[in-house]
Structure 1
Amino acid sequence: MLTTAHLQTAPAAESTGISFPPNSAQKWVLPNGLTVIVQEDHSAPVASVQAWCGTGSIDEDEHLGAGLSHILEHMLFKGTKTRPANTIAQAVQDVGGYINAYTSFDRTVYWIDVPKAGVEAAVDVLADAMMNSTLPPQEYVKEQEVIRREFAMGFDDPDRMIGQLMFATAYHQHPYRLPVIGVLDVYNQLTHEQVMQYYKARYVPNNLTFVVAGDVDGEQVHQQLAALVKDYPAKSLKPLYIPQEPLQLGRREVHQEFATELTRLSLAWHIPELTHPDVPALDLLSTILGTGRSSRLYRRVREESGLAFGVSAFSYTPGEPGVLGIDATTEPGKRDAAQQLILQTVDDVKQAGAMPDELIKAKKIALSHQLGSLTTMRGQASDIGSNWFLTRNLNFSRDYLDAIQKVTLEDVQRVAQKYLVDETLTVVSLNPKGSLDERSATAARAAAGEIQKIALPNGLRLLVREDSRLPLVSMTAVFRGGLLAESPDTNGVIHLMAKTLLKGTATRTAEQIADTIEAVGGNISSDSGNNSFSVSLDVTAVDFKLGAELLSDVLLHATMPGKAVAREKEVQLAGIREEEEQLTTVARNILREALFRDHPYALRSRGSAETVSALEQKDLLAFRDRYVVAKNSVISVFGNVSAGEVKQIFEQTLASMKSGELALKEATPAVPIS
């Protein structure tokens, strides 16, 4: 039981010895109001070129709910005054680039990832699309049908629908209540002329920001954009009225039925916008509650009580007031109990606060997440663009992390008590067809270097790439296996084995494994596929040795306890049932069976209900002993660590791994070719 005796300030030095990398971005505002931001990073000959338009679904004014911003995301690459529709994508492909876009509540972002030699072309293409799109009527008709299919897919997706239901229930006045894609009935009333009017009104220089990160010359990018847009004057942006959400004065609950076998449950409380001083503490609170296998909700609701197959928490803080939410997937009959335990777990933090080690861990997770976003040029550009767009502070990420380090245990308890109150709580759920009637009846009844290859004496192969740009290290141990190692009688065994590898070793329980890695802001996970299975681990560089020792312990001494096997079988069987209600997955499985016939590729990655139900602990141990051996493994280590250190540590920690043999040298039977 937690008590207030644990409340004390957690010093920043105890949380992390790592600081956020300095921001060296350059910024220019052109005479017509267009903003140019460039972050030079010459560590690799690539760049990300992004155009941020300050318009999203909440800015659609009299056409609110029509999805105008999303339509333009689809249409802007369909032709300009000088480029026909099919030449825009081709121009990007010709320089080895990749083009895409996304729409959110408050922005539409277009980006091209490209080799260094293609930066000039990428800037030219994006500037042309922003300023000169013609929105060809024939292309508009085509994209209308594409978007209608997108609507239809969303209507069949329980995860998307529970999110929309949550926002529609939590917000009654603010446009966040409406999906970014729009409302189908409103969308169907739009005309091409209205879309063109919206484009001309919102896609103006003084509402655009170009962000470029990578191996570029900032001044050259600045001069190129200045030349490209010099003939486009600034325009008056119509002031938009966005109604503020009134204070919620009582709990809201909406429970609906859906074509699903599992119940999706979502709880949300109103919290402030991104720049509010309470947000760092709220972000850490959500991490303590529901990020990782050592989080309170995961332990209590999934592992200890078995009331949910999955549970997590999140803090959504955009430019307007957001929500702190908790999502869970459970059996219909366990929904009430899961909801009650979730609220009890929240109440425990409100009453007794968090533990010092929980706060330190949450701070390290926050730092790792922010650092992880900078590992690609696209991530750097997105971070800078978001900083500027939401706060007009290019260094907001740094300042935010500084604020994170200053959060105390008292702060976490204070914001929990202030914001996670019943009056502002929204609870929604999607439940299987007929289950609500059954519930009613029941209730009534009651830096990048070359890859180095290292061979250890027992046959284990190491691949190491030293990269000092960020203080992070990623490790993955891969074993030949996957579906190729299975038969129709054992289908699903590799997936189940991979998941239970993390459920305990000879010296650590599953909780201790999670505690060990998450206490340093790291992550460990396992996976399986067609040809292999793997265990991956991410840590900061200062914790590499700890991470390597933990990974080695899992590989050498995983016990796969019977109780954990039984629990993960439940989760795997639930996943199989969930797949059976996803049309694309069903179609893919049918196609695999038709294409591969008697080959293992015809099998399903999770297996079938019959084969998984028959699996026992001894089956998993047998597969582990056969496949988790040195000659059947490759361990890759990429990040801020030396190859010599990697070799030295793994020679010590994995010296006792049995050599074994390389598995599945030839797949039998061969893949059909006709």
Structure 2
Amino acid sequence: VLALLLGMGRSSRLFVELHQKKALVLAIDAWTFNPGAEGLFGISAVTRAENFKRTLEEIHAQIQGLKSRPVTYEELQKAIKQCIAARLASRKTVEGQAAELGSSWILAKDLTFLDTYLEKIKAVTPEQIYEVAQRYLRLTNQTTCALTPEVSRVVSVGTAPRGEASRPQLFKPANELRVIIKEDRQLPFVNLVAVFGGGTLFETPANAGITRLLSKMLLRGTKSRSAEQIVATIEGVGGHINTFSGNHSLGITMEVFGDDFELALEILHDLIFNSVFPAEALEQEKALQLDQIAAERDDLLTHGLNVAKERLFGSKAYGLNILGSEESLKKITVESLKEFWMRLCAPRNCVFAVYGNCDFDRVTRAIERYFGAWCATSEMSIHELISQLQVDFNTGSKVVEPHDKNQAVVIVILPGTTVFSVDKYPIELIQESCSDIGSRLFMRIRESLGLAYYTGAINFPGLVPGYLAFYAGTAPNHAETIVKEILSDLAELRQTGLQQEELDRVKAKVLGQRKLSRQDLGNQARAAALDELLGLGYLNQEAEDKHFEAITRQDVVSVTQRYIDPEKAVIVVLKPEPS
């Protein structure tokens, strides 16, 4: 409970003070390791090098605050609810249930140990928190380690009743909003997802990165709630809230106990209609996004993929970096952010999903109450945008870019397909056949020839045609050999497709991964909302399983001959300049 109070969640003391208010850290959390005997209490943070010393000082200040006065009853109850929610969340999947039983038996020889543990959590008092903070959070008991850009060194510093799940149902209010609802009372949680069309297809080189920035700013305050109050309201009832963004969308996700669903809906309403995008918070988020751009540039594979996409697509669609650029972020203001949000914030450009411990009739009544009067501020929808967008590929070129690291990365990228084409299923299996340690690329280039550190492939079907990329990391003197080997393997793949044994293996793997991902209701809700938004339909995930199962070797050969053409490849090689 002490770790939760200090550094778990967006309303925790460390996150609010060091990330939200002072923008000192990119990430921070507190954690415990309790093996049964003596354990560990830790705080982890990622910060810029120039903020390291001040970050340490602020962490110590927050620790001292816990030691100087007992926590309030309200703050303690919030942490207890978070702890209970986190523990019960492990029961969402079969893997989680098995892990719970196994650890309970290993640690306590009691299969119901978690239930006993939660009862003890509920009984924790402010006085007990104060006592353990005094006993364990001592400078003489502390070791601080930091990995810095200059020198690495060690620094010493003084539940609900179980029930059957229903099929998802689609509810359509009169204003063109779509709401997917699935009743599932196996656990006490309800997941709420709101997803809007957005991403690089809505952006230009002048405002690239604005979707990602907007998603972060949606949690930075409304007309009636500060950023801290937004998070504290949800985490105070044991829930959590976050935002996301990607090439096609941005959205808001929440998970709360079923009894708190309408509270989550009220917060969602506030975020959608009353976000104010404070200027100071915008500058903080822009600085964090610039740090992410710098980190991407420092990662050879990520940077190489960005270069390859820009060369293939040019300066539009998927050629734009979802993080933007230094130039584009500087131009984004509070006014341009509000204007962009008004463009996206329309019911026809939005899908809600409500999955979990809920009632269909109660949900629809609440949706009508909070969002029934929502009128469009923009007539643009993601599908109208696609109809106006023309993508012309720039194929058959090679880029060699120098860098200062003693390694090389090779990327071969090809034009791909769309999410609407049945070709995406064989292409996904081709990508999987080239991506794991049993893949043809790995076995040949790394294991047989010993030329690469790693190999892999990426398939990205888009709303407009996407891409298929193959990559390898190697020593600088092997880079050109790797290019030849990848092109040779692609030529062979183009002619023969996958062997039956390969096809059976990757088909089983893909289907297994898809089923595992659907164990979590939050994943189901987000996938269904995105599929409905993109025009695939909210039941698309089930239909796609059947498509994968039906693929034959001939299907694969047909697709490889149409999409895998080495003559159309864009080749990117990142390697150090010769000394």
Above 0.5 in TM-score?
Answer: yes
- 1:511-550 alignment runs, 5 A limit: none
Q: 1:415 maps to what in 2? A: 559
Superposition pairs for residues 393-412 of structure 1, below 5 Å? 393-412=537-556
Structure 2 portions without partners, runs of 5+: 1-163
Identity between Structure 1 and Structure 2 (%): 24
- Secondary structure of 2:253's counterpart equals strand
Q: CA deviation at 1:22?
A: 10
Q: Distance in 2 between matches of 1:313 and 1:148?
A: 27
3-state DSSP class of the match of 1:309?
Answer: strand
2:483 to 311, 314, 339: 339
Q: In the alignment, what sits opposite 1:320? A: 464
TM-score by structure 2 length?
0.67
Q: Residue 353 of structure 1 is aligned with which of 467, 477, 497?
A: 497
AA of the residue aligned to 2:399: V
Counterparts in 2 of 1:117 and 1:302: CA distance versus 1, 3 Å: farther
Q: Quick check: 1:95–1:117 contact (8 Å CA) kept in 2?
A: no
Matched, 1:168 2:304: no
SS in 1 for 2:295: helix
Deviations 1:118-147 (A, max 9, x none): 333222212221122121233223323333
How far apart, CA to CA, are the structure 2 residues paired with 1:38 and 1:423?
47
SS at structure 2 position matched to 1:188: helix
| Alignment of 1:24 onto 2:170 | no
Aligned-partner SS, 1:92: helix
SS of aligned partner of 1:313: strand
Task: Please say if residues 66 and 184 of structure 1, whose CA atoms lie closer than 8 Å, have aligned partners that are also in contact.
Answer: no
3-state DSSP class of the match of 1:277?
coil
Partner of 1:491: none
* Contact 1:50 1:111 survives alignment (8 Å): yes
**Residues 639-664 of structure 1, C-alpha deviation per residue, up to 9 Å, x if partnerless?**
xxxxxxxxxxxxxxxxxxxxxxxxxx
For 1:372, which of 512, 516, 521 is the aligned residue?
516
- 2:275 match: 133
Residue identity matched to 2:415: H
Shift of 1:227: 0.8
Q: What is the aligned partner in structure 2 of residue 269 from structure 1?
A: 414
Q: How does 1:223-262 map to 2 (within 5 A)?
A: 223-238=365-380, 240=385, 243-248=389-394, 250-262=395-407
Distance 1:127 1:392, change over 3 A: farther
Q: In 2 relative to 1, CA 341–148 (structure 1 residues): closer, same or farther, beyond 3 Å?
A: closer
Q: Following TM superposition, by how much is the alpha carbon of 1:354 offset from its aligned partner in structure 2, in angstroms? A: 2.2
2:449 to 297, 305, 311: 305
Render the CA deviation track for 1:350-371: whole Å, top value 9, x for unaligned: 2233221111112111211210
Equivalent in the alignment of 2:348:
206
Give me the whole-angstrom Cα distance separating, in 1, the residues matched to 2:483 and 2:570: 12
After TM superposition, where is structure 1 displaced by more than 6 Å over at least 4 residues in a row?
none
Separation in 2 of the partners of 1:177 and 1:87?
Answer: 38
**Residue of structure 1 equivalent to 2:571:** 427
**CA–CA distance in structure 1, aligned partners of residues 228 and 261 of structure 2:** 20
**What do the CA deviations read for 1:4-33 (whole angstroms, capped 9, x no partner)?**
xxxxxxxxxxxxxxxxx9981111122222
Are the counterparts in 1 of residues 239 and 254 from structure 2 also a CA contact under 8 Å? yes
Distance (Å, rounded) in 1 between the aligned partners of 2:393 and 2:264: 45
1:430, 1:92 → 2: CA distance? 45
From 426, 438, 446, the counterpart of 1:294: 438
**TM superposition shift of 1:154:** 2.8
Q: Secondary structure at the match of 2:452?
A: coil
Equivalences for residues 80-119 of structure 1 within 5 A: 80-119=222-261
**Following the alignment from structure 2 to structure 1, what is the Cα–Cα distance between the partners of residues 496 and 208?**
46
Contact 2:490-2:566 at 8 Å conserved across structures:
no
What CA deviation, in whole Å up to 9, does each residue of 1:360-406 have, x standing for no partner? 11211121121011121211112212321223412222222212222
Q: 2: distance between equivalents of 1:141 and 1:340?
A: 46
CA distance in 2, matches of 1:225, 1:64: 36
Equivalent-residue separation in structure 1 for 2:165 and 2:515 (angstroms): 12
Q: Indicate how the Cα distance of structure 1 residues 284 and 259 shifts in structure 2: closer, same or farther if over 3 A, else same.
A: same
Per-residue CA deviation, residues 396-427 of structure 1 (Å, 9 max, x unaligned), is 22222212222211121121121111232111
> Is the 2:197–2:248 Cα contact (8 Å) retained in structure 1?
yes
Letter in 2 for 1:29: K
Contact 1:99–1:111 (CA<8 Å) still a contact in 2?
yes
TM-score, normalised with respect to structure 1? 0.58
Alpha-carbon RMSD: 2.2
**Cα distance in structure 1, aligned partners of 2:454 and 2:293:** 26
| Equivalent in 146, 149, 159 of residue 288 of structure 2 | 146
Q: 1:187 and 1:240 mapped to 2: Cα distance?
A: 23
Take 1:141 and 1:296, find their aligned partners in 2: how far apart are those partners? 47
Q: Secondary structure at the match of 2:389?
A: coil
1:456-467 equivalence runs, <5 A = none
Query: What amino acid sits opposite 2:480 in the alignment?
Result: D
Q: Equivalents in 2 of 1:22, 1:307: separation in Å?
A: 50
Distance 1:372 1:246, change over 3 A: same
Distance 2:166 2:512 in 1: 17
2:195 matches 1:49: no
The equivalent of 1:284 in structure 2 is 429
Quote the Cα distance in structure 2 between the aligned partners of 1:121 and 1:267. Answer: 49
* Counterpart secondary structure, 1:196: helix
Give distance in 2, aligned partners of 1:95 and 1:260. 48
Q: Within 2, Cα distance between the matches of 1:22 and 1:361?
A: 31
CA shift digits 1:586-627 (9 cap, x unpaired): xxxxxxxxxxxxxxxxxxxxxxxxxxxxxxxxxxxxxxxxxx
Change in Cα spacing, 1:331 to 1:22, as seen in structure 2 (3 Å) is: farther
Unaligned stretches of 5+ residues in structure 1 = 1-20, 439-674
CA contact (8 A) 1:44 1:215 kept: yes
Local SS of the residue matching 2:369: helix
- What secondary structure is seen at the aligned counterpart in 2 of 1:39? strand
For residue 157 of structure 1, what is the aligned residue in structure 2? 299
> C-alpha distance in 1, partners of 2:296/2:435?
26
Amino acid at match of 2:335: E
Alpha-carbon deviations, 1:279-328, whole Å to 9, x = none?
2111122222x132221111101111111111112211122211111121
1:35 alignment partner in structure 2: 178
1:206–1:235 Cα contact (<8 Å) kept: no
Structure 2 matches for 1:441-480, cutoff 5 A?
none
Change (3 A) 1:42 1:283: same
Residues 225 and 342 (structure 1 numbering): CA distance in 2 closer, same or farther, change over 3 Å? same
Whole-angstrom distance in 2 between the partners of 1:92 and 1:417: 52
